[in-house]
């Protein structure tokens, strides 16, 4: 649906040049929710604005729905842009128009009759669940309500693609969740391809199927969200994942000599990480029973991403050392990552 081929974007000239996008190639499929994550300045906004040519790339080709946008005339581009809706962090609503007026605005030049336009706007307001506010002005709405209106407006011309530039970054966590659910509904119900730009891994985790990680204008890692979470390659990706998991907290607890991490001879602290989609068995109890070892869980952080558990458990393991070695082998065969964080040695 969206093909970005060798996209570059350079701002400024001479000494002051900024290579905001540096040779990015990405392919986004029809009907998917694709995430682009990166820290501030990585080039995400510039890249997403290259998809609808709000920013004209310095080099490369942009194809959307089989049209090469980079070769279109101004008129052709205007019409192609109708197929690409966009929403923003600060909503960008027109303050002097009502909710109805904002959503009706993109229909101005359309061939629909007056009644059809009204029906269309009301249908959109219903879809985003804000029909009771049609006569309100933007300054009478909460952030979440404003974003709902912005989504309705972005959908007015029946786009095939919806670009979301930090669409939830100005919202509280609860409202963020409800807007993400709405984007999911728009994707499923209308079959719209959604591209989400964010600096929050929680957003990616919540709705995206695939993700590209950006750093210094380049895509440094790309793949299915589950695989990226399970096996992040790049330090920047690990940093993002760290922000959403508490499994790394064990190092902090050990450093501060927390009572929960004090172990006796014969015990060891292990971290078990679930990195495959097929981990579904009750592994802890199976291991404990089959190998006659004790596993006392210090804490767990397991979430469901794309219908599979991911995360892990930090536990104190004790028992016969040969049995522990066999248990670790068994866990590794089940594709569970096993790390010994601290070992108090045998009690012999
Ligand atoms: N119009 C512009 N003129 C000059 N430099 C720009 C312009 N727009 C962006 N840049 C620069 O390009 C780089 C990428 O910016 P961009 O806004 O795309 O990053 P981002 O990842 O979206 O970050 P943020 O989340 O902070 O917006 C930055 O160094 C930025 O300063």
Task: State the closest ligand 1 atom to the C-alpha of 46, by its place in the atom list counted from 1.
Answer: 18
Which residue's alpha carbon is nearest to atom 29 within ligand 1?
A: 41
In this structure, how many other beta carbons lie within 10 angstroms of the beta carbon of residue 156? 21
Which residue's alpha carbon is nearest to atom 30 within ligand 1?
A: 41
Pocket of ligand 1 (CB under 6 A): 11-12, 18, 20, 38, 40-46, 199
CB 343 within 8 A of CB 268: yes
DSSP line for 258-280: -GGG---TTEEEEEEEE-STT--
Query: Which residue is it, tokens 């890249």?
Result: 47
Ligand 1 mean position, distance from CA 17 (Å):
12
DSSP line for 284-320: HHHHHHHHT-EEEEEEEEEEEETTEEEEEEEEEEES-
pLDDT at 89: 92
In this structure, how many other beta carbons lie within 10 angstroms of the beta carbon of residue 147? 30
Q: Which domains does the chain have, with CATH numbers?
A: 2-244 (3.40.50.300), 248-343 (3.30.70.260)
Q: Which of 295, 294, 299 is nearest to 250 (CA)?
A: 299
pLDDT at 341: 86
The one-digit pLDDT tens for each residue of the chain (348 residues) are 999 999 999 998 888 899 999 999 999 999 999 999 999 999 999 999 999 999 999 999 999 998 999 888 888 888 888 899 999 999 999 999 999 999 999 998 888 888 999 999 999 999 999 999 999 999 999 999 999 999 999 999 999 999 999 999 989 999 999 999 999 999 999 999 999 999 988 899 889 999 999 999 999 999 998 888 877 889 999 888 877 777 777 778 888 888 888 888 889 999 888 776 655 557 788 889 999 999 998 888 887 777 777 778 889 999 899 999 999 999 888 888 888 888 888 765
Ligand 1 mean position, distance from CA 23 (Å):
16
Q: Per the structure block, which two tokens stand in for 318?
A: 């004790």
pLDDT at 347: 60
pLDDT at 280: 56
pLDDT at 278: 59
Ligand 1 mean position, distance from CA 43 (Å):
6
């Amino acid at each position: 649906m969206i093909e970005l081929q060798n996209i570059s974007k350079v701002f400024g000239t001479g000494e002051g040049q900024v290579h905001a996008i540096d040779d990015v190639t990405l392919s986004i499929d029809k009907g998917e929710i694709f995430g682009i994550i990166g820290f501030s300045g990585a080039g995400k906004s510039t890249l997403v604005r290259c998809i609808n040519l709000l920013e004209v790339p310095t080099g490369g080709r942009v194809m959307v729905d089989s049209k090469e946008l980079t070769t279109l005339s101004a008129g052709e581009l205007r019409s192609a842009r109708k197929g690409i809706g966009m929403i923003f962090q600060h909503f960008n609503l027109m303050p002097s128009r009502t909710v109805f007026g904002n959503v009706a605005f993109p229909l101005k030049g359309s061939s629909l009759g007056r009644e059809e336009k009204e029906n269309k706007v009301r249908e959109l307001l219903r879809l985003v669940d804000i029909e009771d506010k049609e006569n309100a002005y933007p300054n009478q709405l909460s952030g979440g309500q404003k974003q709902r209106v912005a989504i309705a407006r972005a959908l007015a011309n029946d786009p095939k693609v919806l670009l979301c530039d930090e669409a939830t970054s100005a919202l509280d966590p609860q409202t963020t969740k409800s807007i993400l659910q709405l984007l999911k509904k728009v994707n499923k119900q209308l079959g719209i391809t959604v591209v989400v730009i964010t600096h929050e891994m929680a957003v990616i985790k919540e709705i995206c199927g695939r993700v590209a990680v950006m750093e210094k204008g380049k895509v440094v890692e790309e793949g299915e969200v589950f695989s990226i979470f399970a096996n992040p390659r790049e330090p920047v990706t690990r940093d993002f994942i760290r922000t959403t998991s508490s499994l790394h907290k064990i190092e902090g607890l050990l450093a501060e000599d927390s009572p929960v991490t004090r172990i006796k001879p014969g015990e060891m602290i292990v971290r078990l990480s679930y990195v495959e989609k097929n981990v579904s068995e009750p592994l802890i109890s199976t291991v404990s029973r089959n190998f006659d070892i004790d596993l006392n869980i210090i804490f767990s952080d397991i979430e469901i991403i794309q219908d599979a558990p991911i995360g892990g458990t930090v536990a104190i393991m004790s028992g016969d050392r040969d049995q522990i070695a066999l248990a670790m082998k068994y866990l590794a065969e089940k594709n569970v990552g096993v790390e010994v964080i601290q070992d108090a040695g045998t009690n012999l």
